Chains A and B, each alone.
Chain A
Amino acid sequence: MKKHSFTFPRLKYKQDGIINFVEYKHKRFKLVYVVMIILLLIALFIAIFPLFFLLIQAFKTPEEINSNIFKFWPEVLDLGKIIDVWQVSGLGVYFTNTIIVLIGAIISSIIFNGLLAYGVSIVKPIGSKFVYGLILGSYMIPTVLSIIPLYAMIVNLKLINSFIPLWFAFGANAFYFINFKNYFDKIPKELVESMRVDGCGDFQIFFKLILPISKPIIGTIAILATSAAWGDFLLPKLVLMEDSNFTLMVKLFSINATMGTVAGYTPDMLLMALLLSIIPQIFIFLIFQKQITGGSLEGGIKE
């Protein structure tokens, strides 16, 4: 037998689960298995089809989309349309803005939640338990409920049209904090104490010891923050007023809201812009799918 040969899984070797090889000796159960695979294929189709639909619609001309005769495929596949839409809608600016917000959000979610978690988990100064309680207490309360006063505070600080509130908002995330704290709780105290004996302060310990040994959790938080910041809508919508400051989501929303009233944007252009905004998300997902689906237990909890 070759070492790396691909072997098709055989039902007679299925050891665990509700139905196993014992039942699969019977024809009836083999039929059940086929039905299960068919159901999964249907689910897969439903999951993928709308994306496929977007891909096809995005390449149609406005006439084709509004035509009375429905045709599934576009008449011609014009790849130049990608560049046309990109230039006409100036998507480059919004992509750049999104990436600027994204990078700030990732850094801020790691540094601030991490530092706070380090304090609560390792240094434990008097009163840190109280802080921990406050964070846990506000964890179950959806932050959107207090968006109005937050907006008023941002207005008062004259931070409208600035990315600063969007960055720092990620530094106060109870879910990221709890993940960091749970990870830091497992770090041996001796490591920290030995650095303290060497005369290092807490900031030094955090940046020189804790962060380098916390790569797995930093990776997880970075991935979570990436997808959260990319799709973040309400706060950017309120804070960013100038078109040149819009993130992709805010721009897509504004194209969608003004479509039909403002000349220049046709449905197919919006669809192409949607497609272009989805592609990076799918790429990020495919690259990190192991970490994302593995971390979906914790990730799903916040959703």
Chain B
Amino acid sequence: MQKPIVKTHDYLQKRRGLIRRNISGWSVMLPGIILFAFFVWIPLLSALVMSFTETIGFEIQGFVWFDNFVEIFNDVDFRKAFQNTFVYLGWSLLIGFIIPIILGLLLSETIHFKGLFRIGIYMPSAIAGLTIAILFSFLFDPSSTGFLNNVLKWLGFAPLSWLEDPDLVIPLIVVTMTWRGAGATALIYLSAFQQIKTNYYEAARIDGANTWQRIFNITLPSILPSLSVLFVLQVISVMQVFFEPLVMTNGGGADRSSLSMLLLAYQYAFQDGRADLSSATTFVLFLIILGLSLVYFALVAALKKRGYKV
């Protein structure tokens, strides 16, 4: 390469190159930015604005500030949905959080039929959630001809009304979601388990630690990062439960026993024509998710300070 003779010439050329590079860079990014603006950023901002305004159809009429929030908190349906959100969360942590950990542990500790177990257990995760919700509403058929009721009869139990039972409907929806999600989550845990170094276990063995001590002192602490990330992701995802109650209980059930906040937001907007109430509902849901995420990040930071690897 030849050195340019004049310094300013070099500088100008660099500068011109820089400008051209910036223009070119932005033109490459522009299509993506437009799409992000259209599909993500503008709708998010509009939803925020809309929750403080009055709407007719989907058109904003004017600011009413907190009237929408007052209205929804006085609505029986909203209160039910708000309450249900935490019932969903509780059941989902009870049923859906532990099972994948155990599955992952079993998969990582066994050496027979590895491929069969992994593919088979992952299989439900490969199927669209909506189809599974429809399929499970057949499985949970409350009539005397339903499959599970016949199994119960065969075992000598009384038939259940399944999804029509207000106490059972949320746990059953959570079972459906877990059936679909557990396999994929188990494989994430599996890969976390397999990254644990064998010599940790060797050292523990030499020190005379038994199996349970190894699990609780080595295995579980080592997967703490995956554990905490998957925990918060599960919380966020179950808060957004939507099409399961829509499909399985025909829009939340007659007594609203499975109504979720997102489903209510959908009904406000598309059945009652109240886009403002709908936006206010999603805004409350957003605040709950944000609040829980902040608690999570604070916890992780606190644990990190104490020297835990989270």
A51-B278 contact given A18-B214, A274-B135, A296-B187, CB 8 Å threshold = no
Contact of A270 among B106, B120, B134 (CB under 8 A): B134
- Residue pair B42, A293 in contact (C-beta under 8 Å): no
Contact of B130 among A124, A125, A147, A249 (CB under 8 A): A249
- Residue pair B28, A149 in contact (C-beta under 8 Å): no
A1 at the interface (CB under 8 A from B): no
Contact of A285 among B31, B106, B123 (CB under 8 A): B123
In angstroms, Cα B137 to Cα A256, docked, is 10
- Residue pair A47, B138 in contact (C-beta under 8 Å): no
Min C-beta distance of A255 to chain B, whole Å: 9
Looking at chain B's contact residues, the main secondary structure is helix
Contact of A145 among B47, B102, B128, B131 (CB under 8 A): B47
A115-B29 contact given A17-B201, A40-B106, CB 8 Å threshold = yes
- Residue pair B150, A36 in contact (C-beta under 8 Å): no
- Residue pair A125, B109 in contact (C-beta under 8 Å): no
Contact pattern, B 31-72, Cβ under 8 Å of A = 1, otherwise 0: 111011011111110110010000000110000000000000
B253 at the interface (CB under 8 A from A): no
Contact of B279 among A51, A148, A285 (CB under 8 A): A148
The interface centre, meaning the residue of A66, A111, A147, A238 with most chain B CB atoms within 10 A of its CB, is A147
A131-B184 contact given A9-B112, A150-B39, A267-B138, CB 8 Å threshold = no
In angstroms, Cα B214 to Cα A119, docked, is 47
A160 at the interface (CB under 8 A from B): no
In angstroms, Cα B28 to Cα A120, docked, is 10
Contact of B29 among A43, A128, A150 (CB under 8 A): A128
- Residue pair B110, A36 in contact (C-beta under 8 Å): yes
- Residue pair A115, B31 in contact (C-beta under 8 Å): yes
Min C-beta distance of B116 to chain A, whole Å: 7
Min C-beta distance of B279 to chain A, whole Å: 6
A253 at the interface (CB under 8 A from B): yes
Which residues of the other chain, B, contact A131 by a CB distance below 8 angstroms? 29, 33
- Residue pair B107, A40 in contact (C-beta under 8 Å): yes
In angstroms, Cα B130 to Cα A256, docked, is 11
For chain A residues 135-151, which have a beta carbon within 8 Å of chain B? Answer: 135, 138, 140-151
The interface centre, meaning the residue of A135, A149, A152 with most chain B CB atoms within 10 A of its CB, is A149
A65 at the interface (CB under 8 A from B): yes
In angstroms, Cα B285 to Cα A146, docked, is 11
Which residues of the other chain, A, contact B201 by a CB distance below 8 angstroms? 16-18, 20
Report, as a range, how many residues of chain A touch the other chain.
35 or more
Which residues of the other chain, B, contact A187 by a CB distance below 8 angstroms? none
B303 at the interface (CB under 8 A from A): no
A277 at the interface (CB under 8 A from B): yes
In angstroms, Cα B21 to Cα A150, docked, is 33
CB-based A-B contact count at 8 angstroms: 293
A296-B188 contact given A70-B150, A125-B26, A144-B262, CB 8 Å threshold = yes
Min C-beta distance of B305 to chain A, whole Å: 23
In angstroms, Cα B40 to Cα A171, docked, is 11
- Residue pair A289, B122 in contact (C-beta under 8 Å): yes
In angstroms, Cα B50 to Cα A177, docked, is 28
Which residues of the other chain, A, contact B218 by a CB distance below 8 angstroms? 18
- Residue pair A37, B40 in contact (C-beta under 8 Å): no
Min C-beta distance of B100 to chain A, whole Å: 10
Looking at chain A's contact residues, the main secondary structure is helix
A265 at the interface (CB under 8 A from B): no
- Residue pair B211, A116 in contact (C-beta under 8 Å): no
B129 at the interface (CB under 8 A from A): yes
- Closest-by-CB residue of A relative to B219 is A18
For chain A residues 78-125, which have a beta carbon within 8 Å of chain B? Answer: 111-113, 115-116, 118-120, 123-125
B119 at the interface (CB under 8 A from A): yes
Min C-beta distance of A252 to chain B, whole Å: 6
The interface centre, meaning the residue of B23, B135, B145 with most chain A CB atoms within 10 A of its CB, is B135
- Closest-by-CB residue of A relative to B59 is A152
Min C-beta distance of B209 to chain A, whole Å: 10
In angstroms, Cα B111 to Cα A271, docked, is 37
Min C-beta distance of B201 to chain A, whole Å: 6
- Residue pair A292, B242 in contact (C-beta under 8 Å): no
In angstroms, Cα B112 to Cα A225, docked, is 33
Contact of B121 among A18, A47, A149 (CB under 8 A): A47
Which residues of the other chain, A, contact B150 by a CB distance below 8 angstroms? 70
Which residues of the other chain, B, contact A39 by a CB distance below 8 angstroms? 102, 106
- Residue pair A125, B32 in contact (C-beta under 8 Å): no
In angstroms, Cα B227 to Cα A153, docked, is 39
- Residue pair B145, A65 in contact (C-beta under 8 Å): yes
Min C-beta distance of B296 to chain A, whole Å: 11
A282-B41 contact given A46-B179, A68-B144, A155-B58, CB 8 Å threshold = no
For chain B residues 84-108, which have a beta carbon within 8 Å of chain A? Answer: 102-103, 105-108
* 15 pairs from A and B in contact (CB 8 Å cutoff): A9-B112, A36-B109, A37-B112, A44-B120, A47-B179, A138-B41, A145-B285, A146-B46, A149-B50, A171-B32, A282-B123, A282-B126, A293-B119, A296-B122, A297-B191
A-B CB proximity, top 4 nearest: A231-B128, A116-B32, A125-B25, A149-B46
